[in-house]
Amino acid sequence: MTDTPLIEIDHVSFNYDDSPPALRDVSLAIAPGEFVALTGANGSGKTTLAKHFNGLLRPSSGCVRVDGSDSAGRPISELAHTVGYVFQNPDHQIFLPSVVEEVGFGPRNLGVRGADLEERVEAALALFELSDLRARHPMLLGRGIRRRVALAASYAMRPQLLVLDEPTGGLDRHATDQLMTVLHDLVTEGRSVVLITHDMRLVGEHAERMVVINGGVLRADGPTAEVMARHDLLHDAGIRPPAVARLAAGLRDAGLPAALTVEDFVASVATLSRSRTAGQP
């Protein structure tokens, strides 16, 4: 790849105080235009790893390069130009008295002003269906709506890389689908998305690349279809492939190829049925 990676995690280990290492010698790079799923059980180290992307945590050893240069000594406010981070708990990032101020806070901090600021805020409000709630106090809104506020606030910063930690908890199907559309649009623009999630259906449907962390160690990193096929490794990491992938695996002896999505699965059953029927004399 000719592009400089947005993020390079280079042999990073990390300890919280005197605890055993939460990350052990992890290396990975994220290039522009990638949609990466970061997966693992609770406590596996995936959030710890993601917090290194924008300097929320600093490595105990190893190096993190953001936009090609070492992030050591660079403040979060500078790294925020490149990396946006949406916390698992929206209340960790919401603190202003209205939705519109909350969404404008990040871009304003990045120095965006005037019509550009207004345009970004309006676009983010519209995208996350918050325009009618602009004057409301975020803390008096439901949890699913607060999550949309947090997502809109990060989106308005237009980061090169958006990291989302379990963004779909508390979102219903409609809001989840909308969020995924937004994320794909970002990727189409050449931005990158790192999605931390337990929802393997989302991973199968949306991520091109899947990273598995277990016990602070990077266990797998590759095209989602390849990683999802490693059932033993996933089982050890506390991950269950989506229902349709497990079903396809259960029907392998009947001639079905692996599948990650409903579309894949239905297409291969249809092909198999038709080819066999067409093979008749």
Partner 1 sequence: MNQANDEAGCLISIRDFVYRYAPVTEGEAPVTALDGISLEIAAGEFLGITGTTGSGKSTLCLALNGLVPQATGGSIGGDVLIGDWNTKRVKVPELATRVGLVFQDPESNLVGLSVEDEIAFGPENLGVPPSEIAERIDWALALVGMSNERQRSANQLSGGQKQRVAIAAVLAMRPEVLVLDEPTAQLDPLGKVEVAAAIEAMRREFGSRLTVVMVEQDAELLAQFADRVVVLDAGGIVMQGTPHAIFARVAELERLGVAVPQLAEVAQRLNSELGTDFDFLTHDEALRALRPHLRSALDD
Q: How far is the CB of 121 from partner 1 (least distance, A)?
A: 24
Give the interface size with partner 1 as a residue count (CB under 8 A).
40
Q: Does 200 bind partner 1 (CB under 8 A)?
A: yes
Residue pair 65/30 in contact by the 8 Å Cβ criterion: no
Q: Contact with partner 1 (CB under 8 A): which of 190, 223, 255, 257?
A: 255
Site mask, partner 1, residues 141-160, x = CB under 8 A? -xxx----------------
User: Angle, to 10 degrees, between the axis of helix 243-250 and the axis of helix 262-278?
Assistant: 30
Q: Does 225 bind partner 1 (CB under 8 A)?
A: no
* Shorter beta-carbon distance to partner 1: residue 75 or 173: 173
* Shorter beta-carbon distance to partner 1: residue 65 or 137: 137
Q: How far is the CB of 145 from partner 1 (least distance, A)?
A: 8
* Shorter beta-carbon distance to partner 1: residue 47 or 154: 47
Q: Does 242 bind partner 1 (CB under 8 A)?
A: yes
Q: Does 69 bind partner 1 (CB under 8 A)?
A: no
CA-nearest of 10, 37, 38 to 26 is 10
Q: Does 135 bind partner 1 (CB under 8 A)?
A: no
Instruction: Kindly report the number of other CB atoms within 10 A of residue 77's CB atom.
Output: 11
Q: Contact with partner 1 (CB under 8 A): which of 18, 132, 172, 232?
A: 172
Site stretch for partner 1 (CB under 8 A), options 60-68, 122-130, 168-176, 186-194: 168-176
Q: Does 233 bind partner 1 (CB under 8 A)?
A: no
Q: Does 132 bind partner 1 (CB under 8 A)?
A: no
Site mask, partner 1, residues 8-47, x = CB under 8 A? ---------------------------------xxx----
Residues that bind partner 1 (CB under 8 A): 41-43, 140, 142-144, 169-175, 198, 200-201, 238-240, 242-244, 246-247, 250-251, 254-256, 262, 265-266, 269-270, 272-273, 276-277, 280
